[in-house]
Chains A and B, each alone.
Chain A
Amino acid sequence: MENNLDRVMEEICLDPAVLGCLFADQQGLCIGSKGQASNETSGYITAIANQVAKLEPNSKMPVVTLENENQICMIQKADTITGAIYKKL
């Protein structure tokens, strides 16, 4: 059932700069993760995407980028799924 998602996650993680990725459903429950992404963060990732979307309700879903000194985390919501990709800087 989740073969397609697994394949997508594998493709994402093929990029050497990618540290990990995570996908969550509308309720913040993790539906898949690979690499350094922790399952427990799925709720926060969904919450961030939902809160940021409220800033511009009439425009399309924004990409949220959180950056620290050595990695970035990009979050985007598409329909009911929220995805997060962790990358090296």
Chain B
Amino acid sequence: MVEEIKKNLYEIASKIEGLYGITFTDRDGVPLLKVTSESAPEPAIKPNFISTFCLAIDQGSKLGLGKTNTLICTYSQYQIVQMNKHPLVVTFVANQQCNLGQILALEAQIDPIASSLALTVTEI
């Protein structure tokens, strides 16, 4: 099943120019599923970077705008999109020219994968 999901994610990722990888992690940044190319920057897929997102969304919820769904960070060379799929976090790593709108539109395709992985996390 994991191989099938990985294959599916590879197909999704290859359709977007400049997308280096998609990772599914838990809230501590522990990777559950990782589909990355060699060009993906190492620090962006490390647990300490991903777990910072959880801290950020906790702070974001204090702004009074409701639950944080997505966080987009734009750096000089890379763009990181993180989606809150409680209890999971989905991280997309892309280059500076990548089409963010296309990444955000992937949410509907990512949802079924996230919900099936979420079941395994809650079981553990």
- Write out the residue numbers on chain B whose beta carbons fall within 8 Å of the beta carbon of A76: none
Using a CB–CB distance below 8 Å, which chain A residues touch chain B? 24, 27-30, 40-47, 50
Closest to B96 in A: A27
Known: A27-B100, A40-B105, A50-B99. 7 other contacts (CB 8 A): A30-B101, A43-B99, A43-B100, A44-B101, A45-B101, A46-B99, A47-B102
**Could you say which interface size class chain B belongs to?**
10 to 19
Verify B105–A44 contact, CB threshold 8 A.
yes
**CB of B103 within 8 Å of the partner chain:** yes
Which of B16, B79, B102 is most buried by chain A, counting CB atoms within 10 A of its CB?
A: B102
- Write out the residue numbers on chain A whose beta carbons fall within 8 Å of the beta carbon of B101: 24, 27-30, 42-47
- Give the CA-CA distance A46 to B99 in the complex, in Å: 8
- Give the CA-CA distance A43 to B12 in the complex, in Å: 14
